[in-house]
Amino acid sequence: MENLVSEARVTKDSHDSPGRIKDRFPSALSNRSVWIFDLDNTLYPAENELFSQIDMRMGDFISNLLGVDLKQAKVIQKDYFAKYGTTLAGLMDHHGVDPDHFMDFVHDIDVTAIKPDAELAEGLRRLPGQKYVFTNGSGKHARRILSRLNIEQELAGVFDLSHSGYIPKPQPEAYLAFVDHFGIQAEDSVMIDDMARNLVPASAMGMATVWLQTGNKWGELGHVSSSIDMVIKSLGSWLGNPRGGSNYD
């Protein structure tokens, strides 16, 4: 409880906080039975820097594809990411890139930094309801990570980018495809993601939202305070005590 309360206070007082976050926990999250987790930098900490490996592989892919140097490739990559939600979406639209080929290439990374996470596994196990992964990455990548974390058994399903026809978060169509795929109601659900902009359509549909704040600049892109019900810094410690903020009621 102490941990959660102090996290919430840090967020409110922090000068670099991107906006005031409503403290509606736990009321906003009560009576919710579906838990939707992002994968990268959410189910494992951003400090593992796994995503920087993926990021570099994307640069290599674009450099090879377009015959540009890595600096130019990075500019193109970030431009597509900002405009389309994923680099892949821009590459498909502008260059007809095969998504499976791209996914296999960029996810060919060293995942040994990811270790079994007993705290997270226990937190998920104790969390009542259905638990899913909703990722802009590939299913193969997700299963590899879940296996490394040793939390596969706690999750009812993985929704990867191919399930939405390669339409990524934060495009609303991806969320509609998600709820349709699993036959769930947005009003029953809580979405947890390190990318603030991914919470905007979720909130608009009626999901409760939890922003896992990593301190990374891209996590704050498209931040909308009114779309965020709660801010956390560590998924494992929060799940260890999800009702710890009850004195904010």
Site residues for Mg ion per CB under 5 A: 38, 40-42, 194
The least CB distance from residue 198 to Mg ion, in Å, is 8
**Between residues 189 and 214, which has the closer beta carbon with respect to Mg ion?**
214
Please name the amino acid found at residue 113: A
**Between residues 228 and 244, which has the closer beta carbon with respect to Mg ion?**
228
**Between residues 63 and 86, which has the closer beta carbon with respect to Mg ion?**
86
The least CB distance from residue 27 to Mg ion, in Å, is 26
**Between residues 63 and 131, which has the closer beta carbon with respect to Mg ion?**
131
The least CB distance from residue 195 to Mg ion, in Å, is 5
- Contact at 8 Å (CB) between 4 and 244? yes
The least CB distance from residue 172 to Mg ion, in Å, is 18
Q: Which residues in 139-173 are b (16+ Cβ under 10 Å) and which e?
A: bebbebbbebbebeebbeebbbbebbebbbbbbee
Please name the amino acid found at residue 175: Y
Retrieve residue 77's tokens. 């990559």
**Between residues 194 and 220, which has the closer beta carbon with respect to Mg ion?**
194
Sheet with strand 130-134: strands edge to edge:
157-159, 130-134, 34-37, 189-193, 208-212, 230-232
The least CB distance from residue 56 to Mg ion, in Å, is 17
Which DSSP letter does residue 72 get?
A: H
**Between residues 23 and 38, which has the closer beta carbon with respect to Mg ion?**
38
199 contact partners, CB below 8 Å, separation of at least 6: 191, 193, 209, 210, 211, 224, 227, 228
**Between residues 218 and 248, which has the closer beta carbon with respect to Mg ion?**
218
The least CB distance from residue 249 to Mg ion, in Å, is 29
The least CB distance from residue 158 to Mg ion, in Å, is 14
Q: How many helices (H) and strands (E) does the chain have?
A: 11, 6
- Contact at 8 Å (CB) between 145 and 37? no
